[in-house]
Amino acid sequence: MPLELGFILITTFTAIVSCSNLSHALLHPSSVSHNVSRSSYYLTTNELWFNQTLDHDSPNDHRKFRQRYYEFMDYFRAPDGPMFMIICGEGPCSGIANDYINVLAKKFQAGVVSLEHRYYGKSSPFSSLATEKLKYLSSKQALYDLAAFRQYYQESLNVKLNMSNGGNENPWFFFGISYSGALSAWFRLKFPHLTCGSLASSAVVRAVYEFTEFDQQIGESAGQECKLVLQETNKLLELGLKVNNKEVKSLFNATELDVDADFLYLTADATVMAFQYGNPDKLCVPLVEAKKYGSDLVETYSKYVREYCMRFWGLRVRTYNRKHLRNTVVTADSAYRLWWFQVCTELGYFQVAPKNDSVRSQQINTMFHLDLCKSLFGEGVYPKVDATNLYYGGDRLTATKIIFTNGSEDPWRHASKQNSSHEMPSYIIKCRNCGHGTDIRGCPQSPMVIEGKSNNCSLPDYVNKVRQQMVDHIDLWLSECRKPIRSSI
């Protein structure tokens, strides 16, 4: 999945997505429980706009584009309260979600702003997403976007609050999950003077070319019994494709996928969803029972994909269709093409099958990913992961005042920073359904859990303990960088 570091799942209520993770399932999904109203899910959906610089690297290019953002100031303690910046990642940003950051904003009496990532959602600089038009889509440009917006918003706040211009600054703190969690960490690394600290939740700071640990974690999280059934099911799927190709794909409503490896990527992503987002029993319980009673494993698995992944989550077959991914017109599904571009040029995260004991098909290998990149973006497109890790430091980045958090069952944690230090504390939240962004989203990580409540986590006390550590660090770091604010006379 995309980082998704998973994939972007777009449903009736579109959240701040990512994937787990996108197309290779977006980093985080956007599904919302049908029992949750839109008003309770969002703190605000009121769109605001900022004129952003297109190319921060060129002093001669003065082109601008409209970048969408949101603000929520109900808790803000004027004039010297903190400002929380929520970074949106690899998908449309449709508002400020009512997750655990809302709880933190109340506690610290903070204002909250959230900036949509360039190219995604309504913040596209161009009407075409042809490869040559994507040259300004990168994490580096996104970081400069954040810096420029943060300066603009602080200056606007100074005017609004009638504060003098003598260096007045509110204390800022940055937040992100998954790819945006990496951006949060990288922002503190590259612009330490613009934020008092960062929370990097499930932050994929290490670009990876061949990400075999991803599949290995799925097997570990599934447990031996479920893993063996998943492996058997996958072998039956591969055999079925050879014998009754269309019939097998029709079970998954996926006959449009002409490339068998694309279909097997979809089924691999569907497996990932159960563990990445804290719903392992949705997959393992029916599969293990089917094996025990001699039921059809492929039929059982296809039912999980149709009824849970597609009907409930909003997983879309066409986002695995190369014909669809080659579409250069801006649409509601453009995030998948955009995320693949970032994956294919700077981040990698190729979720390849390990040579031994793999859960996913061996057809999901390095050549599959390189061929897909070439198919979507043309010759010469290659993920420069070494350059990315050299620029940011990978999981050995050297910075201060960054909190790293990861769920124990999240496959993406192996691209994060898991070693803890005094300046950059790192916490593994351990529980059976602790996945992607547990500290912010609660359990399960999808559907939406209001205020990210931890009561449905298998070990809520462990989640709450890590959250208290987060609060302590944020409190300390805000106090250390707070400056007196003077009002104009």
Active site residues: 178, 410, 436
- What's the distance, CA 392 to chain centroid? 18
Buried b (16+ CB within 10 A) or exposed e, 166-195: eebbbbbbbbbbbbbbbbbbbbbbbbbebb
Q: Taking Cα atoms as reference points, which of 153, 152, 139 lies closest to residue 189?
A: 139
Decide the pairing of beta strands 20-21 and 4-6.
antiparallel
Q: In 10 A of CB 379, how many CB atoms?
A: 6
Which residues make Cβ contacts (< 8 Å) with residue 20, sequence separation at least 6? 1, 2, 3, 4, 5, 6, 7, 26, 27, 28, 178, 272, 276, 412, 436
- What's the distance, CA 289 to chain centroid? 32
Angle in degrees, CA 184, 186, 190, rounded to 5: 120
